[in-house]
Amino acid sequence: MAEDPLERIARQEREKQQNGGLRTTLYILICIAVALGAVLGYMLYQRNGLVKQLEGEKAELAAQMSELQSDFNSLSSDYENINHQLDTSREQVALLIEKLNKTQATNRAKIRQYEKELGTLRTIMKSYIVQIDSLNTLNKRLTADARAARAEAEESRRANEQLSQQVEDLSSQVSAGKILRARNISLTAYSSSDKVTDRHSRARYMVTNLTLVENAIADRGPVTVYVRVKDPEGILLINNESADFTVDGETLQASASRTVDYEGSEIDLTIYVKDTGEYVKGIYSVEVYTDKAILGKADCMLR
């Protein structure tokens, strides 16, 4: 049966409308896909740019650390205690560089932490420079003062009044000179096999070594040397054998002590600090005393 012309026209119109709707939907989907692709591409571009920026910041931080390490390596002094502190700071810089090299540039929290540690080490280095300059200036002034004093003493021998003043000054110097002094003070950690170690996990006890210097005018007889060893938190290491002592009217507790018979000659001393518990990472310090005065200090760093 032949299709009615009117119905055929109506059917063709419906097919055109349907085909037009499909094309419109297809165009919309294509536009959405293109937009999503552009957004995704922009996000990837932004991410790659951020990663490059963070890698650049890490490289800059590494360069600053290397520069600081070079500055520390070029810094030196004529003073044993400062040189020991410099060695400790050099180890800290090397450890910081090692940690930075093992850290991803995208770990922003760690990178910021290392920046702060770098700033602290820079401040420490500046303080070393100030100390060294101050001590050098003081040493020059004292040398000049000593030279002038010797010239004055030579002239003063010709006058009884000046000679009396010299004798009085000499008496004061002798009193101060009778106080014992020490040199080569050091603090070292040892393992259970009695070997030197810088690892906190292997450390079992601490040893303080020092030398009582020769002093012809010091009092002869028994002398007790006390050591006070503190952990990185400043807590005194003690055991069942720890004892109290008094210096300059102040009562202190010692980590350990040793008594020797001093006859005016140089004496090497070794004092052990044992059975004080486990050791942690950080810088341990020791203060050495007699009942007359403090003899000196030293540090020991455990990794």
* Helices 5-74, 108-156: inter-axial angle, 10-degree rounding: 20
Measured distance CA(252)–CA(48) in Å, rounded: 61
For residues 143 and 1, which has the higher predicted lDDT (pLDDT)? Answer: 143
CB 297 within 8 A of CB 81: yes
Question: Token pair of 40, please?
Answer: 């995704």
pLDDT at 105: 66
The answer to whether residues 228 and 252 touch, using CB atoms and an 8 Å cutoff, is: yes
Q: Is the pLDDT of residue 287 over 90?
A: yes
Starting at the edge strand that comes first in sequence, how are the strands of the sheet with 282-289 ordered? 256-262, 221-230, 282-289, 294-302
Q: What is the DSSP track for 233-254?
A: TSPBP--TT--EEEETTEEEE-
Q: Phi and psi for 278 in degrees, rounded to 5?
A: -75, 155
Supply the pLDDT for residue 174: 47
In tens, the pLDDT along 17-67 reads 666 667 777 767 777 776 676 566 555 555 555 567 677 777 887 887 788
Whether residue 244 has pLDDT greater than 80: yes
Expressed in angstroms, the distance from the first to the final Cα of the chain is 101
8 A C-beta contact, residue 193 and residue 204: no
pLDDT of residue 166 exceeding 70: no
Higher pLDDT, 237 or 103: 237
Predicted structure pTM score: 0.45
For 250-280, how does the pLDDT look when each residue is reduced to its tens digit (9 = 90+)? 999 999 999 999 988 899 999 999 999 899 9
pLDDT tens for each residue of 190-212: 999 999 999 999 999 999 999 99
CATH of the structural domain 180-302, one choice from 3.10.180.10, 2.60.40.10, 2.60.450.10, 3.40.50.970: 2.60.40.10
The beta strand positions in 175-266, using DSSP E, are 182-190, 205-212, 221-230, 244-247, 250-253, 256-262
Distance between CA 301 and CA 303 in Å, rounded? 7
Give me the residue spans of the domains in the chain. 18-146, 180-302
Is residue 190 within 8 Å of 248, Cβ to Cβ? no
Residue 124's pLDDT band (boundaries 50, 70, 90)? confident
- Res. 167: pLDDT tops 50: no
Most confident of 4-8, 144-148, 239-243: 239-243
| DSSP run (H or E) holding 269 | strand 267-273
